[in-house]
Amino acid sequence: MMLNDSVAIVTGSGRGIGRAIALELAGAGAKVVINYAGRSDKAEETVQLIRAAGGESLAVQADVSQASDVDRLIRTTLDQFGKIDILVNNAGITRDSLLLRMKEADWDTVLATNLKGVFLCTKAVSKGMLKQRSGVIVNISSVVGLSGNAGQANYAAAKAGVIGFSKSIAKEFASRGIRVNVVAPGYIITDMTETLSDGVQSDVLSAIPLGRLGKPEDVAKAVRFLVSPEASYITGQIFCVDGGMDI
């Protein structure tokens, strides 16, 4: 149990990749706070899955783009578990369209959740981590943040921003015992991607050297490694979990 006695917050972990990360960290012994935006049913389901396996968990609604919500998320975690060792910034949304049709609101909402949310949550946990001189942060970006993608200028800009932010914070925090890394998934089967047409899905599949779409668990295992003591000499790095899409 590599993460025994650790306390983790995983944003956007009621479903999808976040849920898989939460289950993986709980399976390794961490107490995990399940953050969600609106789907309390899914968040409670995740909490029950962790408890049924003998772990400790709690669901907290908070919009990561709102500073007051994030402060409440951190306060609730500290009240319940006393400290925060691990933050996984996973919450994310898409509002896809080609640039000429992209509404200003689509730009603002995606940047607010996917980039400002990472800033707010990281800043909020960093105070305690700096004081305890330890902590691990993993930010979920996307291969699209490295390569760009037609129809996702807002999303790609936010995900590229997450990479620049993470590398900067890794440099700021390294001397205080805090590591920061990025996981960049490729195409993972979740609610976010299942609405894509069969045509788009088969185009994506043909661009994946390992010949299959990703599962949330593929991402979760990489995150579990990065937050574990086994990765204690790794910071400021980007790990693509994409079946080779970025090669």
Active site residues: 155
Helices (H), the chain: 16-27, 40-52, 67-81, 104-111, 117-132, 144-147, 153-173, 191-194, 198-206, 216-227
User: Interface with ligand NAP by CB under 6 A: which range of 2-10, 78-86, 187-195, 197-205?
Assistant: 187-195
Positions 201 through 230 that interact with ligand NAP (CB under 6 A): none
**Which residue, 73, 71, 51, is CA-closest to 60?**
73
Among residues 6, 57, 76, 113, the one that binds ligand NAP under rule CB under 6 A: 113
Exactly one of 2, 29, 39, 237 binds ligand NAP (CB under 6 A); that residue is 39
Per CB under 6 A, does 55 bind ligand NAP? no
Of 3 and 140, nearer to ligand NAP (C-beta) is 140
Q: Establish if 17 lies at the interface with ligand NAP (CB under 6 A).
A: yes
| Widest distance between CA atoms in the chain | 51
The residues with which 178 forms a beta bridge, in sequence order, are 135
- Enter the tokens of residue 45: 């389901």
The residue among 180, 188, 142, 186 whose CA lies nearest residue 161 is: 142
Cα gap 112→109, rounded to integer Å = 5
Residue 92 in the binding site for ligand NAP (CB under 6 A): yes
**Residue 181 binds to ligand NAP (criterion: CB under 6 A):** no
Neighbours of 209 (CB within 10 A): 10
Cβ closest to ligand NAP, residue 16 vs residue 55: 16
Query: Judged by CB under 6 A, does residue 6 bind ligand NAP?
Result: no
Per rule CB under 6 A, count of chain residues that contact ligand NAP: 30
11 or 235, CB closer to ligand NAP? 11
- Residues 6+ positions from 244 with CB-CB distance below 8 Å: 208, 209, 210
In this structure, the number of other CB atoms found within 10 A of the CB of residue 168 comes to: 12
- From 11-19, 49-57, 79-87, 172-180, give the range in contact with ligand NAP by CB under 6 A: 11-19
Smallest separation (angstroms) from ligand NAP to the CB of 196: 9
Q: Does 14 bind ligand NAP (CB under 6 A)?
A: yes
How many residues appear in the chain?
247
The residue ranges that bind ligand NAP (CB under 6 A) are: 11-12, 14-18, 35-39, 42, 63-65, 90-93, 113, 140, 142, 185, 187-188, 190-193
